[in-house]
Amino acid sequence: MTTAESIPSPSVRVAGSMPRSLLWWSIAALVIYLALDLARSLIAHFGYANPASTWQPDPAQYSDVEWPPTAMVPAGASNGRRVYLENCAICHGPDGRGNGAAAPSMRPPPRDFTTAAFKYKSTPHDAAPTTADVRKVVADGLAASAMPFFRDVLTPAEIDDVVGYVEALRATPAPQAAPVVVPQRPPVTAAGLAHGEQLYREQGCANCHGADLRGGAAMTDALGQPVSSRDLTAPWSFRGGARPEDVFLRLTTGLGTSPMPSFADLPASDRWDLVAFLEARRRAAPGEPGGVLAGPGQSQDALARGRYLVRAGMCGLCHTEVSVKGIYRDEQYLAGGTRVGAHPQGVFISRNLTSDPDTGLGRWSEQQIVRAIRDGRTDDGRLLNVFSMPWVFLHNISQTDAMAIARYLKTLPAVHNQIPAPLHFGAIESFFSKLWSSDLFLGRPPSITYATGSFANFKGPDLARIQGTLVAAQWMVLALWVALLSWLVPLQRWAPLGRRRWTGVLGCSFGLVIYSTPILGVLPAEMLSQQALGAVPRPDVSALPPERVALVERGRYLFTNASCVFCHQPNGGGGLKLSGLPGTLFTANISSDPSAGIGTWSDAQIGRAIRSGVSRNGRPLYWQGMPWDHFSNFDEEDVMALTAYLRLLPPVPEKVPAYRPPSPDDCAVYTAWTSPNAAEGCR
């Protein structure tokens, strides 16, 4: 007869097996844990599926363009219209109003061809430009500006045809006049120089350009658009040319709608004295003997410096809402709201960087903003994910520059844009996705997506809080299971594992938990930045003069901190795939290789690609693939510096794949791959 003593207790294993109750409790705990984890992943995958709102600009403000621009050319179009739509409409708009899709980021904005306003011409102030004036600008471009030269990519006949087309767009009549005759220049004398300096003061030139002639004053033109006064000590930045005859002409004709007036009422001898005075105050160009870097990026005015660094950088690329066709909503500049998908790291909504106190940076101190820029720490000390905000590329930005950026951001007009918190995938999905990543250390996402529309002011439940509740529930399940385990299984049965083994088990468990989290918050910023930027080349400059060394070092600083390395890789070899609205393209090889890279490009062609989005062969570059619309705001000195550094990048012989026009199997959401080896999917 069976006695009570012979019945096994649930806390005692039979023949070394696990107690049945513990087995069933363990299975139940596992099922609940996995269900909670799956719920976390489903929320991350589908929680921010659709934007809260989608903005579409009035075509009179900014007009959509098709990509590639050849797709906009209708059958039977004239040659002039074809050339215009393929090369000019991106900035100036399909109807020539200066309302192109890339225009919102450009300062000053592109010219409106329907008016008679034309800055760089040979005719009197209120007169229309001559055909030769327009042709010169098309062929030669405007120095130190986003207006590129086309003399090497368009035939003379094509230039003539597009000039005729542009002139026909003019809807506002203007008087015709003969070109200004530039008289012969008199000899330069000490008296003439002194008189020129006196005229500079008496004519009010210093009101805009400063007593030191350095310019940089933030102003508005007659159309209400922001402009900046020219640095008169830097003739390489004179858009209409730096020859004495060019400067005389600018003094005579003025600059159209800009604050620069005409001084035609001054005697020609006075204008020549002003030209002589400006010549005498010219400083040596960066890289030349005695030259120093002294552009807006080195301004002692922190606000001016910050404005320049932000406008010429890539902040607006993620922190400004875009329309379905990729047009930036400039009235909400840097107000955030873009959805950034970086599996397995998470789903992020770009932050509101305006001065709004409730949803932006209004209550942040400048030092807190600096910390976020350089170290990725928010105002409450949390670490920003490196794949949502690439602060690892900005970690080495100087304290002075970071503080200037912070000061400018604090002045941005407040936009109330509530940004929802990030969503993260379940622990199991995060762990195994990172384990299979090409970068085990950081768990690099194979691709990053950038959705159109605004995901700010999300209407619905607080998904991030729900995920937090699910995480808490998972920890509770684990805690209850461990408590049950310790209750059902006597301690002595675990003793054989030993202290060392238990330490190893706990250590591995803790490591798994840390690795499955979306960010490696315990690691120092310096370590993560070194991981990203350690391979950026440092060219041998020992044989260069000090002025040239300073130029190259500035170029390397820009290469890393303007995030060129983010797309073109540390060695400049490029090859990263992007797919979406513009089709499928690959970031360029910008190393010095003469065949695969830009080794045979001229300095002017490199500068044109950076600031105007025109490749050496004339192909327009998509402004969100190569953000030249932002880079159009680069000062000429920084373009010179970046070019000098690119010249010294070691050659990378790998050619990147050719551009592929849009097709039905391109990515529905604009997608950027993070390494050439991960270029799979969509198409």
Neighbours of 493 (CB within 10 A): 13
CA dihedral sign of residues 163, 164, 169, 170: positive
Tokens of 649: 């990048």
The yes-or-no verdict on residue 222 having pLDDT over 90 is: no
Q: How confident is the model at residue 129 (pLDDT cuts 50, 70, 90)?
A: very high
Q: What is the pLDDT of residue 562?
A: 83
Q: Give the C-alpha separation, 237 to 637, whole Å.
A: 8
Query: How many CA within 13 A on the CB side of residue 538?
Result: 4
The pLDDT > 90 percentage for the chain reads 74
Range of weakest confidence among 234-238, 335-339, 424-428: 424-428
Strand pairing partners for 540? none
- What average pLDDT does this structure show over 49-72? 95
Question: CB of 319 within 8 A of CB of 328?
Answer: no
The yes-or-no verdict on residue 9 having pLDDT over 70 is: no
Tokens of 464: 């991030």
- What average pLDDT does this structure show over 441-445? 75
Q: How confident is the model at residue 26 (pLDDT cuts 50, 70, 90)?
A: confident
Element (H, E) at 676: none
Q: Give the C-alpha separation, 479 to 552, whole Å.
A: 58
Q: Give the C-alpha separation, 338 to 51, whole Å.
A: 9
The yes-or-no verdict on residue 11 having pLDDT over 50 is: no
Token pair 């391979």: residue? 535
Q: How confident is the model at residue 466 (pLDDT cuts 50, 70, 90)?
A: very high
| Long-range contacts, stretch 187-193, CB < 8 angstroms, 24+ apart | 188/276, 188/279, 192/272, 192/273, 192/276, 193/273, 193/276, 193/277, 193/280
Mutual angle of helices 190-202 and 268-280, in 10-degree steps: 100
What is the C-alpha R_g of the chain? Answer: 31
Q: Give the C-alpha separation, 345 to 671, whole Å.
A: 15
Give residue-wise pLDDT tens across range 138-156: 999 999 999 999 999 999 9
CA dihedral sign of residues 501, 504, 508, 514: positive
Q: Closest Cα to residue 575, out of 657, 662, 510, 513?
A: 657
Q: How confident is the model at residue 12 (pLDDT cuts 50, 70, 90)?
A: very low
376 or 490, which is more confident: 376
Q: Give the C-alpha separation, 479 to 473, whole Å.
A: 10
Q: What is the pLDDT of residue 386?
A: 79
Phi, psi of 661 (to 5 degrees): -60, 165
Tokens of 585: 């393209």
Q: How confident is the model at residue 199 (pLDDT cuts 50, 70, 90)?
A: very high
Q: Is 673 helix (H, G, I), strand (E, B) or coil?
A: strand
The yes-or-no verdict on residue 4 having pLDDT over 70 is: no
- What average pLDDT does this structure show over 515-544? 77
The yes-or-no verdict on residue 436 having pLDDT over 50 is: yes
Question: CB of 435 within 8 A of CB of 653?
Answer: no
Q: Closest Cα to residue 147, out of 166, 128, 164?
A: 166
Do the bridges between strand 226-228 and strand 218-220 make them parallel or antiparallel, or are there none, so unpaired?
antiparallel
Give residue-wise pLDDT tens across range 623-673: 999 999 999 999 999 999 999 999 999 999 999 999 999 999 999 999 999
Q: How confident is the model at residue 490 (pLDDT cuts 50, 70, 90)?
A: low
Q: What is the pLDDT of residue 517?
A: 60
The yes-or-no verdict on residue 508 having pLDDT over 80 is: no
The yes-or-no verdict on residue 494 having pLDDT over 70 is: no
- Over the chain, what is the mean pLDDT? 90
Question: CB of 369 within 8 A of CB of 360?
Answer: no
**Measured torsion, CA atoms of residues 48, 53, 59, 64, in degrees rounded to the nearest 10:** 0
Question: CB of 524 within 8 A of CB of 435?
Answer: no
575 or 226, which is more confident: 575
Strand pairing partners for 137? none
Strand pairing partners for 146? none
CA dihedral sign of residues 533, 534, 535, 539: positive
Strand pairing partners for 328? 322
Q: What is the pLDDT of residue 514?
A: 54
The yes-or-no verdict on residue 507 having pLDDT over 70 is: no
Neighbours of 268 (CB within 10 A): 17
Q: How confident is the model at residue 10 (pLDDT cuts 50, 70, 90)?
A: very low
Neighbours of 178 (CB within 10 A): 10
Mutual angle of helices 427-435 and 498-516, in 10-degree steps: 90
Q: What is the pLDDT of residue 498?
A: 54
Q: What are the CA-CA distances from residue 673 to residues 22, 343, 445 (Å)?
A: 46, 12, 8
Edge-to-edge strand order for the sheet containing 447-450?
346-349, 339-342, 447-450, 670-673, 577-580, 583-586
What are the residues whose beta carbons fall under 8 Å from the beta carbon of 112, sequence distance 6 or more?
92, 96, 97, 98, 99, 223
Q: How confident is the model at residue 385 (pLDDT cuts 50, 70, 90)?
A: confident
Tokens of 301: 């005015």
Q: Which domains does the chain have, with CATH numbers?
A: 69-169 (1.10.760.10), 190-283 (1.10.760.10), 304-451 (no CATH), 535-666 (1.10.760.10)
Question: CB of 605 within 8 A of CB of 616?
Answer: yes
The yes-or-no verdict on residue 297 having pLDDT over 90 is: yes
Q: What is the pLDDT of residue 495?
A: 55
Phi, psi of 302 (to 5 degrees): -60, -40
- What average pLDDT does this structure show over 252-268? 94
Q: Closest Cα to residue 376, out of 396, 349, 404?
A: 396
Q: Give the C-alpha separation, 162 to 632, whole Å.
A: 23
The yes-or-no verdict on residue 133 having pLDDT over 50 is: yes
